[in-house]
Structure 1
Amino acid sequence: MSHKLEVGDHVTWNSEAGKVGGTISKIHTHDFDYKGHTHRASKDDPQYEIKSDKTDHIAAHKESALTKTASKQKS
């Protein structure tokens, strides 16, 4: 399966606090633990680690939750 997102891409996603933006820092193709939780990932359905633009918080999301943007947006 071909994936549209790569390390370094800027993406947005919806969170409880509204729309958030960040940069993909890592792509997981196997299950991994993060902050005490196991995140399920595979080559066909990877999880992406994203560093938030505003808080530097690291989040993990599947591709279906992410929207690629042209570049980092100013806030």
Structure 2
Amino acid sequence: MASVKKGDHVTWKTPQGRASGTVVEKVTSTTKIAGHTATASKEAPQFKVRSDRTGKQAIHKAEGLGKG
């Protein structure tokens, strides 16, 4: 999904099924969150999302996100 931007409502796969949430910000540098290191760059950005169900934040690659 190339057109992800802050405020978009998105979905992604988890081991428990599908999750949904809101894009908080575009990440363009290596960032640590919840014990995970996301290796993002300006050429390969990733997106910080906040889960609708738990309120927790995670970082996902654009291709792992769907509009929803």
TM-score, normalised on structure 2?
0.89
Q: Write the letter of the residue equivalent to 2:8.
A: D
Q: In the alignment, which residue of structure 2 is the partner of 1:50?
A: 49
Structure 1 runs not aligned, ≥5 long: 70-75
Q: Distance in 1 between matches of 2:36 and 2:4?
A: 23
Q: Secondary structure at the match of 1:8?
A: coil
Does 2:16 align with 1:17? yes
Bigger radius of gyration? 1
CA distance in structure 2 between the partners assigned to 1:65 and 1:43 by the alignment: 17
Runs of 4+ more than 4 Å apart: none
CA RMSD of aligned residues (A): 1.1
Structure 2 gap segments, 5+ residues each: none
Percent of residue pairs identical: 39
In the superposition, the TM-score normalised over structure 1's length comes to 0.82
Q: Distance in 1 between matches of 2:63 and 2:3?
A: 11
- What letter corresponds to residue 34 of structure 1 in structure 2? I
State how far apart, in whole Å, the 1-side matches of 2:37 and 2:8 are.
24
Pairing 1:40–2:32 present: no
